[in-house]
A and B are shown apart, each in its own frame.
Chain A
Amino acid sequence: MSEDIQALLDRMAEALKQRLSARGTPDPVMVGIHTGGVWVAEALHRRLALSQPLGQLDISFYRDDFSRIGMHPQVKPSSLPFSVDDRHIILVDDVLFTGRTIRAALNEIFDFGRPASVTLTTLVERDGRELPIEAQVVGQHLSLRPDQQVKLRGPDPLRLEIVSTGGGQ
């Protein structure tokens, strides 16, 4: 499956390039969401040869389930090594599912400043959105049962893992 992911990343990079040139977006910056999103972002960042360093977000402090679940055990520092104001941001995550992670990431980005635009790209998307959030560039759509989870393992090699949570198979 690791070759497949490399091919997916190539296609995503190509689609992003076309989208950026079609819109004439100057000097975009890329931000990955911990942890899987950062791996995908690193791969895309290389392929697009962006001039600005990659930004990283840990959205733990912005999650909407904090009061129910509590603090995520391994929170990593967020770092956006550039000014967000008036920048075109490519936001990268591994899996788009309910949309809640992206909601949290957008809130965090806006606490750093006011970007000119945010484009969302994810390696995988699956049905089940609970918020009006869509990715502009998607590597692959997966049709999964509600009891199935897809996880990106990595960083080297990157591979997708589908696990069943119900039934205990």
Chain B
Amino acid sequence: MSEAIVSTRAIPAPGPLPSSLQFNEDGRLRHLLTIEGLSHALITEILDTAESFASMNAQAVKKVPLLRGKTVVNLFFEASTRTRTTFELAAKRLSADVLNINIATSAATKGESLLDTLRNLEAMYVDMFVVRHEASGAAHFIARHVAPHVSVLNAGDGRHAHPTQALLDMFTIRRHKPDFTRLRVAIVGDILHSRVARSQIHALNILNAGEIRVIAPQSLLPAHVETLGVHVYNDIRQGLRDVDVIIMLRLQRERMESGLLPSEHEFFQLYGLTRERLALAKPDCIVMHPGPANRGVEIDSRVADGPHSVILEQVTYGIAVRMAVMSMIMGGSVNP
């Protein structure tokens, strides 16, 4: 990867990942790599299209012929259950053929070997790569090198971006609370390592969310996080007061060894979402989690399974939102 992250505390890859790479000469979405650079109108269009796909659940045949004859490759260099399966289902419900390639987690899988993998798959006449990779910028790298007819969809790259997760979260929020300008949204937990949080913050900003809060210990916040347009709280009790939406993040346990945190137990004591803390938010507040959730680490089971939780809705809506993105990217190149 040509753009390595220099500091582990820096916001990954701000400059050298041009969001313009996502659009073709006519201004149409060709790849989806990051939320940055998407307009309010485009995000709204994606969410509206997803509404139509969500309504397909009423059909006896839950499948439309839009991507018939296209081949989608799920290229996963990093573990995933929800994202990979919902991408696979989304592609299948659009009638595409799907190839799942799980490449064992390996920091060495980069540079030339990655390009070789790409060239080989392109030689099989595939049309879209859905890419998950542990290195920030991997999807951009692939997008820069694919054949002109191939599209790339970022399914999570390092700590950088996870755009479809952010879009399905926006979809879920909009279903419950349509007016973003009046919303107070709190994102809680391991912001530092979270590509989900970064994409969510960009999406919420583009949709003019009223207020975005991040709640975390200083050791789990990226340097200069305020520059993303968020209010920082180190105390969860203050941060959750009167919020409409709570987004819990997964505590990336593998980071625990690095000394950023004393223990899971202590994290739960300080930042876990309990019923008592939930009561500080607005009474009609919704609780979200991108999964996989660590029960008893960042979220109490009684909250995760409670009446405010929309965690399983997020999974369901993930299919419709991914169908919308895939079909918009793979559609023709001439505007009507």
Contact = CB atoms under 8 A, between A and B. Distances in A.
B110 interface: no
Contact of B334 (A62, A69, A111): A69
B241 interface: no
Interface stretch (B58-66, B150-158, B257-265): B58-66
Nearest to B28: A70
A79 B63 contact: no
A108 B61 CA distance: 9
22 contacts: A61-B52, A61-B53, A61-B65, A62-B65, A65-B332, A67-B332, A70-B333, A70-B334, A70-B335, A71-B327, A72-B336, A75-B49, A76-B52, A78-B52, A78-B55, A78-B56, A80-B58, A107-B65, A108-B64, A111-B64, A112-B58, A112-B61
Interface string A54-68: 000010111001111
B64 A61 contact: yes
B331 interface: yes
Given A70-B333, A74-B45, 20 more contacts: A60-B52, A61-B52, A61-B64, A62-B65, A67-B332, A68-B332, A68-B334, A69-B331, A69-B332, A69-B334, A69-B335, A70-B332, A70-B336, A72-B336, A75-B48, A76-B52, A77-B52, A80-B58, A111-B61, A112-B59
A107 B51 CA distance: 20
A60 B61 CA distance: 16
A77 B55 contact: yes
Given A111-B60, A112-B60, A75 B52 contact: yes
B78 to A, nearest CB: 30
Given A66-B332, A70-B331, A111 B63 contact: yes
A74 B48 contact: yes
Contacts of B56: 61, 78
B156 to A, nearest CB: 24
B77 to A, nearest CB: 29
A73 interface: yes
Interface residues of B, number: 27
A157 interface: no
Most B CB within 10 A of own CB, among A65, A84, A111: A111
Contacts of B58: 79-80, 112
Nearest to A85: B60
B328 interface: yes
A113 interface: yes
A27 to B, nearest CB: 20
Interface in B82-101: none
Contact of B66 (A61, A77, A110): A61
A58 B55 CA distance: 11
A70 B328 contact: yes
B153 to A, nearest CB: 15
Shortest Cβ-Cβ A-B pairs, 4 listed? A70-B331, A77-B55, A61-B64, A111-B61
Interface in A74-115: 74-80, 84, 107-108, 110-113
Interface string A108-145: 10111100000000000000000000000000000000
Interface in B177-205: none
Nearest to B60: A113
A135 to B, nearest CB: 24
Contacts of B335: 69-70
Contacts of A79: 55, 58
A71 B63 CA distance: 16
Contacts of A108: 64
A73 B334 contact: no
A72 B334 CA distance: 11
Contacts of B331: 66-67, 69-71
A101 to B, nearest CB: 14
A71 B328 contact: yes
A48 B63 CA distance: 33
B280 to A, nearest CB: 36
A40 to B, nearest CB: 21
Contacts of A113: 60
Interface string B31-64: 0000000000000010011011111101111011
Nearest to A104: B65
A71 B333 CA distance: 10
A128 B28 CA distance: 32
Contacts of A80: 58
Contacts of A76: 52
Contacts of B334: 68-70
B51 A77 contact: yes
A77 B51 CA distance: 6
Contacts of A70: 28, 328, 331-336
A71 B50 CA distance: 12
